[in-house]
Amino acid sequence: MRTLFLGAREFAPFVDLLIGSTRVIGPVAKRQKFVFAELESSGDLRLDYDVTILPPKKVFFPPVQPLVCFDAASVRDCIDPVPTVLLGVHPYDVKGIDMTDLLFRERHADWNYLGQREATTIVASGVQSVAPRAFWASIGTEIAPVGHDAFLTAIDGGYVFEPRTPKGVALARHGAFREATPEEIAAAERANAEAAERCSRALPYTSAEIAERVRAAFRDEAMWDALALDCFSCGSCNTVCPTCYCFDVRDTWNLDQTSGTRSRYWDACLTREFASVTMAGGEKENFREHHQSRFRHRFMRKAAYLNEKLGGPACTGCGRCAAACTADIADPVRVITTIMEATA
Amino acid sequence: MSDTHSASPDGEHRGLFVPREAKIIHTSRPTASEKHFTLQLASGEPLKFTPGQILEVGVMGYGEVPIGIASSPTREASFDIVVRTVGRVTTAINEREVGDSLWIRGPLGHGFELEALRGNDVLIVAGGIGLCPTRSLVEYILDRREEFGRFTLFYGARDPLQLLFTEDRVAWRGSADVDYFETVDRADATWSGNVGVITTLFHKTTSITPDTRVVICGPPIMFEFVLRELDVLGVARENIYVDLERRMKCGVGKCGHCQINDKYCCIDGPVFTFAEIHELEEAI
């Protein structure tokens, strides 16, 4: 597919035309931070963002998602995809989406997720500002992002646009694109390479080394106790993670008290009751009773358990968990480095 | 259950979470807290499943809980579940009566490997409510008795009031098809049988050999002690099947609550061979 170029002045009309024809979600400013939100005009779009508060998985897997609608007479699914363009997704978040795509599709295909996923066109964009806690340039480097339909890079004078799929090609019809020159393509490559250099927090280990050593450290209770000492079990690390996808299911009634909805709600494996089962007489059997065991479980999932399926760690290096953690203990660079150095 | 579950026959994508209606055709109250339901799908089709598989059973507006099927697929006219009242959902389920409906998803998960059991001696060790999912296998073996070797059943409960399936137990006691042993942890004035934890039953029989296929289902604390007895008897890990309980919320390997290290109890289990899980730190 030919790589295209859009002049800086043509960019706003392109985005506005898209907004006029479909729902467009992209990064916008929210006080001092950024969020993915529906764009009302091209002026809202902030492609210079560093990281958003929540990852874009919320487009397909929202914090509350209806699964089943019921009334006195019937029960039916409520899969209702809205055609959407998701604009300005950083490559580390595309990797996150690739992972949730696989996890929701494998074994039992979950169309409550996949329905909206397939109705969405993703335009990735190169990172312009690096978030303070990000380490995406050094983790899971053997996995390339693949779920986007096009890749957009800002260069002097405009944007280089690389379509990857027919959906990406179709998108370019909304703008005054022309074929990119070799110089423009080279400038885009340079811009993205420079951003990666600025992402300097690093884990200087291969994914295989990390997976092996983290898994082998399972029974080092003293180390996990120390790593998780200040954990409040709040689940903030789960909530902001692009590859966390655990959920609870709850029913709610409508005002008529006969119809209602069964919905899933984001859940967090760090929270106390997550693996708890109620037994006879109301007694609880909590299969991960201590915060250390829950903290460890999350790192096992991210660094070791899912590697075989995903081809690398279930961590994209976005740094959101590090920034969101109340006690500032969730940073994967800290945790993994501690384990690697302790077992060296 | 196949991977194409979420596509309906016309190829349209269906939600994984849409339950089927099951009519309640009989109920009984074996104990103060448990209710035994006999169900039929509202569609009239038989429920096809393997013993050991689970259903997500619910009442719309309240929620769903994972329940092992308590009857054998050889008895196609209906299927049974036993639900213990412990929380909001199970309370709502146990308030339903004959003529009402429950909403079910499944069968889900990995049941007992019947091919591996066939032709062999089988021991089932069931503690408490663990008899419910294993009753499916008990009935299956009794219905196809000639396909199995010597069949032994151990059942233990906390006290005589907690014992389930009274009619079945009377039949098993008098049956030549099963060597049935039962015990209670604490006796009362009505009890004249064995008193003691379930492992005391191992001393009542000499029919368990290293080649016996063993199925264990019960409260988490029970597994460790039963496994210790089996180790003394020399039963290989590959021949031991454990039916585990976890918080199997979605039943389709997504929601994360039932993870045991890297396994999902709901789709990789709930029946595992001990060989599969003995190295998992979080399993037993």
CATH number of this structure's domain B20-108, picked from the four choices 2.40.30.10, 3.40.50.720, 3.50.50.60, 2.30.110.10 = 2.40.30.10
Cβ of A279 and B86 within 8 Å?
A: yes
B193 near A CB under 8 A: no
Cβ of A260 and B3 within 8 Å?
A: no
Q: Which of A219, A253, A264 sits opposite B61 (nearest CB)?
A: A253
Chain A residues close to B61, C-beta within 8 Å: 70, 251, 253, 260
DSSP A172-220: GGGTT-EEPPHHHHHHHHHHHHHHHHH------S-HHHHHHHHHHTTT-
Q: Which of B7, B63, B245 sits opposite A249 (nearest CB)?
A: B63
Are the CB atoms for B139 and B124 separated by under 8 Å? no
pLDDT in tens, A247-292: 999 999 999 999 999 999 999 999 999 999 987 777 889 999 999 9
pLDDT at B279: 92
Whole-model pTM above 0.90? yes
Cross-strand pairs, A160: A5, A153
Cβ of B247 and A247 within 8 Å?
A: no
Task: Kindly state the DSSP code that residue B131 receives in the 8-state scheme.
Answer: H
Axis-axis angle for helices A111-118, A91-105 (nearest 10): 140
Q: Which of A107, A247, A304 sits opposite B3 (nearest CB)?
A: A107
pLDDT in tens, A302-343: 999 999 899 999 999 999 999 999 999 999 999 999 999 998
Chain B residue with the nearest C-alpha to that of A71? B60
pLDDT at A281: 72
pLDDT at B12: 56
Cβ of B261 and A247 within 8 Å?
A: no
Q: Which of B63, B254, B262 sits opposite A110 (nearest CB)?
A: B254
pLDDT at B10: 45
Report the residue of B65, B101, B259 to disrupt the A interface, i.e. the one with the largest count of A CBs within 10 Å. B259
Q: Angle at the Cα of B121 (from B117 to B123), degrees rounded to 5?
A: 85
pLDDT in tens, A15-26: 999 999 999 999
Residues 250-269 (B) with a CB less than 8 A from some CB of A? 250, 252-262, 267
Best CA proximity match to B23, nearest among B2, B51, B47: B47
Chain A residues close to B5, C-beta within 8 Å: 108-109
Chain B residues close to A297, C-beta within 8 Å: 259, 282
pLDDT at B218: 94
Q: How many CA atoms lie within 13 A of B61 on its CB side?
A: 17
- Structure-block tokens of residue B97: 């009566």
Taking 60 as the threshold, does the pLDDT of residue A95 lie above it?
Answer: yes
b/e sequence A1-14, b meaning 16+ C-beta within 10 Å: eebbbbeeebbeeb
Chain A residues close to B4, C-beta within 8 Å: 109
pLDDT at B257: 96
Sign for the CA dihedral angle at B218, B221, B225, B231 comes to: positive
Q: Amino acid identity, residue A29?
A: A
Chain A residue with the nearest C-alpha to that of B6? A109
Chain B residues close to A287, C-beta within 8 Å: 246-247, 260, 282
Cα A87 from Cα A56, distance rounded (Å): 10
Cα B62 from Cα B85, distance rounded (Å): 14
Report the residue of A107, A257, A272 to disrupt the B interface, i.e. the one with the largest count of B CBs within 10 Å. A107
Residues 49-108 (B) with a CB less than 8 A from some CB of A? 60-64, 84, 86-87, 103
Chain A residues close to B222, C-beta within 8 Å: none
Domain ranges of chain B: 20-108, 114-277
Cα A241 from Cα A220, distance rounded (Å): 25
Cβ of A260 and B60 within 8 Å?
A: yes
Cβ of A110 and B6 within 8 Å?
A: yes
Q: What are phi and psi of A214, to 5 degrees?
A: -65, -45
Confidence of residue B102 (pLDDT cuts 50, 70, 90): very high
Cα B50 from Cα B109, distance rounded (Å): 9
Domain ranges of chain A: 4-198, 207-342
B196 near A CB under 8 A: no
B12 near A CB under 8 A: no
Chain A residues close to B260, C-beta within 8 Å: 287
Taking 80 as the threshold, does the pLDDT of residue A131 lie above it?
Answer: yes
The highest-confidence range among A73-77, B150-154, B218-222, by mean pLDDT, is B150-154
Mean predicted confidence (pLDDT) in A1-7: 95
Above pLDDT 70, what percent of chain A? 100
Cα A274 from Cα A268, distance rounded (Å): 7
CA distance B82 to chain A (A): 13
pLDDT at B7: 47
Average pLDDT, chain B: 94
CA distance A337 to chain B (A): 22
Please give the CATH number for the structural domain made up of B114-277.
3.40.50.80
Axis-axis angle for helices A291-300, A332-342 (nearest 10): 90
Q: ipTM value, please give it.
A: 0.92
Average pLDDT, chain A: 96
Size of interface A-B (CB pairs under 8 A): 140
Cα B78 from Cα B80, distance rounded (Å): 7
Mean predicted confidence (pLDDT) in B43-65: 97
pLDDT at B2: 39
